[in-house]
Structure 1
């Protein structure tokens, strides 16, 4: 991947130093086309009715209801991947670690939930990014950064988890005694971006104001699609997962 013969493409194994730029000064949003949003259908209406009913019955949700923002079928996920590779990938690298209070997406792909639901094979995104560089001249730092996020972090950590289980999640090789924080019921999910970030806020920042979630978003990933087209729990589970925050 991104290798020419025995040497890395561009002569470097990592372009991480090129991908740490702050957001442009004086702007509220990054100048990139917005990601395509799914069109809701009768299943979304059915799920929303169920969520509203459960809320009336006393179930508390995280976040606020709104239009579905994440794919729940393969066609939607593939359309988002194609749009990202063509329009957003070139700006992804420089600002992959940047944040803007008025721009929740910047140039990110918004494909994490599609990988986790089994709608996209991660290697399809990786191969597509490499072809965007080789055939269409996408900037190599952006391409390398995107591929590293998937192969070097998502899948690598996922395989570590499976290889070293059981007990891997409880190993503290660095001797850090601080446990992972749980949800903070008293914290507003639509709170501000700026200011010192509490750990719980980092876990919940994607929930504002994008929709209710029956569970907190996680950072684990699925290396190969194993989920069915509609996960266990039926249409409610599939459509609600589509509105769960993801990067």
Structure 2
């Protein structure tokens, strides 16, 4: 891993969930993580949690191969953002999962975030946007026909969530406090006057891991042109060995 890189790991559950995979990945989790997995009411949620948190551990160890996947421990910051508690490392991460997909990014820059959403679920773009989004985003959605409005809605949603994760504020920063502008040329962000942030310091990317998923990455490293993203095939060859 180069110092100025975002390492991206994305896995579709259908390609991960092979016979014996859950038990193999479960072995990488801490006792607390295994206990939390066991508390899920639905089996699909339990399996998704196991795959996502095992992916994070394996991804960190892929970037820092001197640390075994089971040796990472985590804590949370003031607003609930998880971080590596031990061993001491310069690595930062962001983790996301939706029905059928798990994803994470690892970087030496703290201000990185990722979000993945299932775009096949039913949603009312305009009514949801009216509740949560900035006025500029609502007006853009009003002017789009279906299914373009639904696609742009998920662009906005994933980009906003990725930004919030990168800032580490969670929902303590309202979704209507900043607006995304998406075009073929660029993805940009703007802020209300009361939000102290520099829009020029952010770079964003959008992709579709599958026809059913939309994924966004927020890069607040302030690196000129943004950090290059290195995508790794998942599962890693040695992930479940």
TM-score (normalised: structure 2): 0.25
Q: Which has the higher contact order (CA 8 A, sep 6+)?
A: 1
TM-score between the two structures when normalised by the length of structure 1: 0.25
- Higher share of residues assigned strand: 2
Task: Select the structure of larger CA radius of gyration.
Answer: 1
> Is the helix fraction higher in 1 or 2?
1
